[in-house]
Structure 1
Amino acid sequence: MTGHSFHPTLLREYDVRGVVDETLHEADAWALGRAFAATVVEAGLSNGRIAVCRDGRLSSPMLEAALVEGLCAGGIDVVRIGMGPTPMLYFAEASMQEVVGGIQVTGSHNPKDHNGFKIVLAGRPVFGADLQRIGEIAACGFGMAAFGGTGQRFERAGGSEGEDILPRWIEAILRRLGPMEREAMADLRIGWDTGNGAAGPAIELLTSQLPGEHHLLFTSVDGTFPNHHPDPSEVENLADLQALVAAKSLHFGCAFDGDADRLGVVDAAGRPLAGDQLLAIYALDLLLRHPGAQIVADIKSSAGLESLIRQAGGRLDLWKAGHSHIKSRMKETGALLGGETTGHVFLAEDWYGFDDGVCAAVELIAAQARLGQSVTALHAAMPTSFATPELRVPVSASRKFATVDEVRARLEAGAAAMVAIDGVRVNRGTGWWLLRASNTQEVLSLRAEAAAPEGLEALLAEIEEQLALSGLAVNLPRG
């Protein structure tokens, strides 16, 4: 069989992403399914089924159909669970009988002409070298050569069938609530903004069964995203939710990205909570039941998060940025909770450990009840600091990793206090700064945090100096 070459930008570090009809085509979806089928065979799991789900983007039905054809051509049986969020796919993979893996067709929070795939096999994310392996299998023509002569050939074409998993997923989330949490919810008024993304039907079903008063925005699924872009990590996308919270005097509001594996929250005053501030609330709640527990967070997290967790008797494990890295680290260490500054929340105490924005929203409601404080009060009590948002400096693919390596070498020569698990996070008396190469874009990702404005200015000046030494003249934004 003739091999297939993916566009060099398509197989990213964490998942598969591209621009439809430019770097991502129907043939790529078929080839991905066919190559993943070979991976399933290689893993000895060919007797199981693969769950497939798609988000609400206009190109997703076409890509999902081609993906399923490719999987079946590779001898793998498929269960199609229809349109829904990525965590619904993860739930199907974790809970459905004979399902050994899953693929979500989704563009996540990217622009409407983008799309891609998120993949899981045997309960673990497929990313990094495993994604590159899929590319190698496709390039080798999907056959025995892809396995170095050690694989098995399939003896039949796979089949596909549909199954409605949405009610089961929502029911499982609701079962996590006890009588005390349900009673506390009765007086709450909450706003929900799904941004015309895949979470709309799920939130309609969920809120119809939750106590309290619920106000919903943009739950009709529309791949053109006519109201605002579904990315709650960008403050401008929260304007409609903030207005709803103010107009209805709500206790807080929840927003989701396009595939609902991330959660954004605004408090009663309309102030957005950063992803690490959300994680702090979950951590304080978890530590009530599991003193000394370890919480995994990405390297971009604030010093305030570490301070809150330490004061509550917990341990913070800073790890590589990216949802796949955090999930893998949690499995490796047995951590019950993890999170990212982008709003991914990973619950593993009595859930499956994958990033689920819908379950995280319900968990937030329950956590504030158990902590005896509102989201707004918990937010207001958090340590204050002066920090940049994530800053991005454009740089060529050939220079981004090299620049980080050069900066790291200079800092090591100067005996700087730093963490180097993902780029370099440099600790100074005034605060810290981070420089890392993005795994998804041709940019350097920067962040800095200090206790005072003058401390932040000193950190930004140090970053500019280091970049200049590597040939990059950059003026970072202030204020």
Structure 2
Amino acid sequence: MSHRFDPTILREYDIRGVVGRDLGPADAYALGRCFATVLRRGGGQKVAVGYDGRLSSPMLEAALVEGLTASGADVVRVGLGPTPMLYYAEASADDVDGAIQITGSHNPVDHNGFKLVLGSRPFFGPDIVRLGEMAAAADWDEGAGGVERREVLEAYVARIAEGIAGVEGLSDLRIGWDAGNGAAGQAVERLTARLPGEHHLLFTEIDGTFPHHHPDPTEESNLADLKALIAARKLDLGVAFDGDGDRIGVVDGLGRVIWGDQLLGIFAEDMLARRPGAVVIGDVKASGALFDTIHRHGGRPLMWKSGHSHMKAKMLETGAPLAGETSAHIFFADKFYGFDDGLYAAVRLMAASARLGRSVTQLRSEMPVLVNTRELRFPVSESRKFAAVAEVRGRLEAEGARFVDIDGVRVTTPDGWWLLRASNTQAVLVARAESGSAEGLERLIAEIDRQLAASGLRRGDQAGH
């Protein structure tokens, strides 16, 4: 029988919805049928499958495995763990051709979804659209695949720990770790037991209700417990993870957040000392200070589209050993596999600080003082959001403005820069601005508002700072 996915769950980078409303076991089963068919028609045979700690994940995993095997794929079940552990299972095994993680990432507790990899490459955009078309036509193969269980947690943790191999001066570090009751909890426990220094752990019990705080370290309010731990224990720094462990949050010893683009600047300085001239990719939402840092330390900065799938694809295309997003997905192909892994980023931060000879707090203090908005997100219909950005682009071109349009429009003015882009995953527009002064920032925000008004839109009542 054919299957029709709710069109809202087929996103640009993954498949995601609300369990019981627009996502359920029938969708997982159909996804398995379609993905196995694509895999086998391309010459592959074996799929690794993992899942996060959400209450619905075991149910979806069982239906997914049933669908994969019904279309003839063999399944390697790696069990409960962070998304990067599933990526590792695929990247490190010679006999695995694709991978699917059941995860709701940092979304609310009733959400869930699937992240897909095929042949060590991200599976997104037109690939996901194709799955929907195949399901609607029942265009899938018949078969009877096998299932095996493979324990990879210990090997994964050991591989993460290699990020500090040969690095001296780590024994005095005192670090707080907040797993947020997400899927990385058990891995954090095992990893910190291997690392030098003193480690204080929060909320490592995996619990899909997220009883302490929501697992999204890009929201500063979710870092309150980590900040309190750092202050109470006088720690050097703290790290936190999202629900599936592929993003990192960092707080320095003074309780200041180090955002994703700032972290990428630290990683770039460290890596470029060993790999001068390397390309480092930042997303279109990143601070101008990041691109200046990359250039100053002898690298070749490249601005690219936001989204973890876009980043991975661009790394493969350019051979870049390092990339990152403002949303704190950090991608290391330098001594690693090129996927986003919050735990590996934490270990590499320890190594970078030691090699650079400056504490994380000192590295944060040395960063230029800029004023910027975080992401300003406001609802705009799916049918209107891309058209509105196109209208803004047309006016900017007519006005002779300086801008890049690789992902929305990023406009440079004497005051700094501002960005307007359409989200690929939600019916929203996203704006951001950055300046060297509060007055400059106000002028940039006013320019965003002027452009929106010319298209019959407004930001709403979100704060500008």
TM-score by length of 1: 0.96
Q: Does 1:477 align with 2:463?
A: yes
Q: Return the offset for 1:453.
A: 1.1
8 Å CA contact 2:268–2:280 kept in 1: the answer is: yes
Unaligned runs of 5+ in 1: 144-152
Give the number of aligned pairs. 464
Unaligned runs of 5+ in 2: none
Q: Which amino acid aligns with 2:247?
A: R
2:344 matched to which residue of 1?
359
Corresponding letter in the other structure for 1:246: A
Deviation digits for residues 361-410 of structure 1 (CA, Å, limit 9, x no counterpart): 10110111111111110111011111001001111111111100110111
1:100 aligns with: 97
What secondary structure, in the 3-state scheme, does the structure 2 residue paired with 1:313 have?
coil
In the other structure, the counterpart of 2:132 is 135
One-letter code aligned to 1:311: R
1:189 equivalent in structure 2: 174
SS at match of 2:277: coil
What do the CA deviations read for 1:263-322 (whole angstroms, capped 9, x no partner)? 000000011101000000000001100111110111000011111111111121110000
Runs of 4+ in 1 over 4 A off after TM superposition: none
Provide Cα deviations, 1:69-118, integer angstroms capped at 9, x if missing partner. Answer: 00000100000000000000000000123101100000000000000000
Q: Aligned equivalents of 1:468 and 1:210: distance in 2?
A: 53
- Bigger mean CA offset, 183-192 vs 255-264: 183-192
The alignment status of 1:392 with 2:377, answered yes or no, reads: yes
Q: What does 1:414-425 align with in structure 2 at a 5 Å threshold? A: 414-425=399-410
Give the equivalent residue in structure 2 for 1:164: 151
Give the match's secondary structure for 1:195: coil
Does the 8 Å CA contact 1:38/1:137 hold for their aligned counterparts?
A: no
2:419 alignment partner AA: L
Name the SS of the counterpart of 1:103 in structure 2.
strand
Do residues 329 (structure 1) and 314 (structure 2) align? yes
Pair 1:117 & 2:104 matched: no
Aligned to 1:149: none
Matched to 2:173, the amino acid is: L
CA distance in 2, matches of 1:336, 1:364: 16
Indicate if the aligned counterparts of 1:283 and 1:295 stay in contact, CA closer than 8 A. yes
What residue is the counterpart of 2:73 in the other structure? 76
Contact persistence 2:163–2:344 (CA under 8 A): no
**Distance in structure 2 (CA, Å) of the matches to 1:189 and 1:142:** 55
Partner SS for 1:175: helix
What is the rounded CA distance, in whole Å, between the counterparts of 1:74 and 1:474 in structure 2? 47
Which of 299, 305, 325 aligns to 1:320? It is 305
Give me the whole-angstrom Cα distance separating, in 1, the residues matched to 2:53 and 2:179: 12
Q: State whether residues 163 and 351 of structure 2, in contact with CA within 8 Å, keep that contact through their aligned partners in structure 1.
A: no
Alpha-carbon offset, residue 159 of structure 1:
1.1
Q: Which one-letter code corresponds to 1:23 in the other structure?
A: D
| Structure 2: distance between partners of 1:441 and 1:178 | 41
1:338-353 → structure 2 map (5 Å cutoff): 338-353=323-338
Task: Provide the alpha-carbon RMSD of the alignment.
Answer: 1.0
Q: Tell me, yes or no, if structure 1 residue 62 matches structure 2 residue 59.
A: yes
| Alignment check: 8 A CA contact 2:371 2:437 kept | yes
Whole-Å Cα distance in 1 between the matches of residues 244 and 139 of structure 2? 30
Amino acid paired to 1:75: G
| Correspondence 1:39 to 2:32 | no
SS at match of 1:285: helix
**Residue 473 of structure 1: how far off its partner (Å):** 3.3
| Distance in structure 2 (CA, Å) of the matches to 1:313 and 1:175 | 26
Q: Which amino acid aligns with 2:265?
A: A
- Alignment match, 2:29: 30
Match of 1:184, SS state, is coil
Alpha-carbon offset, residue 177 of structure 1: 2.5
1:457 is aligned to: 442
Helix, strand or coil at the partner of 2:339: coil
Distance in 1 between residues matched to 2:36 and 2:134, nearest whole Å? 10
Identity of aligned pairs, percent? 60
